[in-house]
Structure 1
Amino acid sequence: MGMDGDQPVADRPQQADVAARAGVSLATVDRVLNRRKGVKERTRQRVLEAARELGFLSEREEAALGGERPLNIVVLLPAGSNPYLRLLGERLRARLDSAGPAGPVLRCFFIESFSAQALAEALRRNAAWADGIAFFAIEHPVVREAAAEVVAAGTRLVTIVSDLGSVPGIAHVGLDNRAVGRTAGLLIGRLSGGRAGAVALVAGSRHYRAHSEREAGFLSIQEELFPQLRIHGMREGHDDAAENYRHTLALLEQVPDLVGIYNVGGSSGGITRALREQDRQDVIFVGHGLTPDTRRAVLEGTMDAIFDQDPDMLISRAIEGLSGPAPVQRPLKLDIYFSENLP
């Protein structure tokens, strides 16, 4: 860090020397030099001044570190094979690569899917570094408890895609999922052309509030407008293509009058694979997430429509919610793609 190349290594000042001169702990010096949170401004300036006086930092490096500290933001996403979540991770990595010095410092971590305990631990662990955390919420008491602790300690939280309900101090960025479910029900009902039969739902997990709200919206409009269609229950595929494939094969075998399938969650590739193998293009299929596999399925006619929320807009709104004043709670725009309007 700005050290004279001719100075013997043994004579070069170390972080311990900076800590001693500034009268702070070694951990505080580390936080200042790495622009972590949790250091008072007066202490931060004292550490930087001591580092420059000792020759640990050049004047230029001191000036760079002396400016306003950028926000530290963490994004927590479920691990697994869900193509939309992988796409979201890729868009976040692209932001990391192009981020300028004035923007927030972003980190993205994939954690065990559908594990409330893993999410709660990740929230607590990352709150030590992060000023704000955006996360795909699991509606569970241990997650609520961890989220409440983190907010009370001063770290801002924003849920993305799926929320925790009305938890004070936590904003949400995502769709109006009940309206999304009703839209899916309306679309399948209209496309059925008056046929009587069964409609099946596949979800990642009801522990995702987004999925349970979509289910509720779908059921409500089916009962209101399409009484000739009966709901064949909800199957949880955990956003895994192999599980969704097995569920769909079972549905095609067990439900001879199957009219449609609504994939409330992700990983639609398993469903389209089963429909393709069984040559069942008569089954109306609607799912979520514009990704290469769903695009291909719509173009070949195995999938009828894709419901999508723009990943870049989702990321931007989440970062805005963590960086500025408390955001206005307004749903993202739902994009619906057919073979004729794919972007």
Structure 2
Amino acid sequence: MDQDTDTATDTVATPALTLKDIARQAGVSLATVDRVLHNRPGVRPDTVRRVKEAIARNAFQPHVGAAELARARARRFAFVMPTGPNLFMQQIQAYLDEMSAWLSARRLSVEVVATDVFDPSVLAASLEALSGDYDGVAVVALDHPSVRAAIDDLVEAGTKVVTLVSDVPSSRRHHYVGIDNIAAGRTAGALVGRLAGQKSGKVAIVAGSQGLRDHAERIFGFNQVMASEFPRLDVLPVLEGRDDDDRSEQALARLFGRHADIVGLYNVGAGTPGVARALSNAGREKQVVFVGHDVTVLTRRLLLQGVMDAAISQNPGHEARAAVRVLLALARGEPILREQEKIRIDIVMRDNLP
């Protein structure tokens, strides 16, 4: 009778090979094996051949994490972030802090460099000061010639550069981590127009700076929808508050004083406390449709109070993790998992607050 049985053998399991074993067989250093595995320059063709033959001979499958830990040099990433009380940017920094154990396990360190991202000369100088000190840089960038030049210089020097939240696509940056801002602006326009119902009147826009590409693209998308779908609503010239609470409040207060028929308000960036104060001080919080960005402690409260009608949201934790993962993939010469790193646009209202 046939039986399914396991055949017992007196074999001893062969220990798994390591990068050190491959280096010893090929007669090279551990660092050289690592360079060959990641297709980095600076290794002679004959040495590359010996390493690859040793890998093939042993059917060696390198473990990426082990290879990273075996590397002698730790990697440093810098996140260039705006100064000031921008709650969304503070959330990104908080999520970076939460990643400390994950970063340590991969011999990574992340340092936050705070600067005035609205001043191109200051931002460019901050980027230039990073050259040679970091393996990767993530920057909330102003789309300006001097900033583009500073990014290009970093890339030329071998630094991996990722733009975060706001892009500079004409630069040589390697990747952008953030939402589709034109789509976000179009979403805001559709919300303001539909929530205004049959009202006619004016719509105010408050931005940090139209020099920030994310703000400029949001305004472009917003105006596209307003012009094509809601011609009864007249969009006023953009106010720039540099994401500052007091500036935003003062600019909007003056606008309310000049226009009694404002029925919609789109806050493109931060400065939300100032925008909300101007709206309340004018006694218009129940008459004006107010759409802004991001779910923070403040916008959550404004949504619950009915002062704010909707927030266009992007996940700050996802952005923080995606930026680090993309920089790490670039530094290792590995493919970027684009679908994983894609940042979604969410619409949050009082009734679906997370």
Output the TM-score relative to the length of structure 1.
Answer: 0.78
Other-structure match for 1:218: 222
Q: Tell me, yes or no, if structure 1 residue 342 matches structure 2 residue 347.
A: no
Q: Distance in 1 between matches of 2:70 and 2:343?
A: 38
Please name the residue that 1:148 is paired with.
152
Q: How far is the alpha carbon of 1:127 from its aligned partner?
A: 2.7
2-side partners of 1:82 and 1:193: how far apart?
32
| Between 121-130 and 200-209, the greater mean CA deviation after superposition | 121-130
1:299 corresponding residue in structure 2: 304
Query: Partner amino acid for 1:214?
Result: R
Relative to structure 2, which stretch is displaced further, 119-128 or 215-224? 119-128
- Residue 117 of structure 2 aligns to a residue in which SS? coil
1:95 maps to a residue whose letter is M
CA contact (8 A) 1:171 1:327 kept: no
Residue 273 (structure 2) aligns with: 269
Q: Aligned ranges for residues 158-197 of structure 1 at < 5 Å? A: 158-197=162-201
Q: Which amino acid aligns with 1:338?
A: M
Cα deviations by residue, 1:116-173 (Å, 9 ceiling, x for unpaired): 1222222222232211000001111111111111101110000000011233342101
How far apart are the structure 2 equivalents of 1:124 and 1:328? 29
CA–CA distance in structure 1, aligned partners of residues 108 and 223 of structure 2: 42
Alpha-carbon shift at residue 111 of structure 1 (Å): 0.8
Residues 245, 273 of structure 2: 8 Å contact kept: yes
Residues in 2 aligned to 1:208 and 1:243: alpha-carbon distance in whole angstroms:
17
Distance 2:105 2:130 in 1: 21
Give the equivalent residue in structure 1 for 2:344.
333
Give, in whole Å, the separation in 1 of the partners of 2:152 and 2:309.
Answer: 41
CA RMSD of aligned residues (A): 2.1
Q: Distance in 2 between matches of 1:104 and 1:159?
A: 19
Whether 1:91 and 2:95 are equivalent positions in the alignment is: yes
TM-score (ref. length: structure 2): 0.75
**Structure 1: how far apart are the matches of 2:300 and 2:136?**
34
* Distance (whole Å) between structure 2 residues aligned to residue 66 and residue 214 of structure 1: 45
Q: Percent identity?
A: 36
Q: 1:177 to 1:289 in 2, by over 3 A?
A: same
- Counterparts of 1:131-146 in structure 2, within 5 Å, are 131-146=135-150
Residue of structure 1 in register with 2:78 after alignment? 74
Q: How many residues align?
A: 282
- Counterpart CA distance in 2 for 1:78 and 1:245 is 20
Q: Which amino acid aligns with 2:304?
A: L
C-alpha spacing 1:142/1:127, structure 2 compared with 1 (3 Å): same
- Cα pair distance change 1:254/1:328, threshold 3 Å: farther
Rate the CA distance shift 1:114–1:169 in 2: closer, same or farther, 3 A. closer
> In structure 1, what is the Cα distance between the partners aligned to 2:88 and 2:71?
37
2:227 corresponds to which letter in structure 1? E
Query: Separation in 2 of the partners of 1:182 and 1:91?
Result: 28
Runs of 5+ in structure 1 lacking a partner? Answer: 1-39, 42-64
Any gaps of 5 or more consecutive residues in structure 2? 1-41, 44-68
8 Å Cα contact 1:186-1:222 kept in structure 2: yes
- Distance in 1 between residues matched to 2:228 and 2:103, nearest whole Å: 49
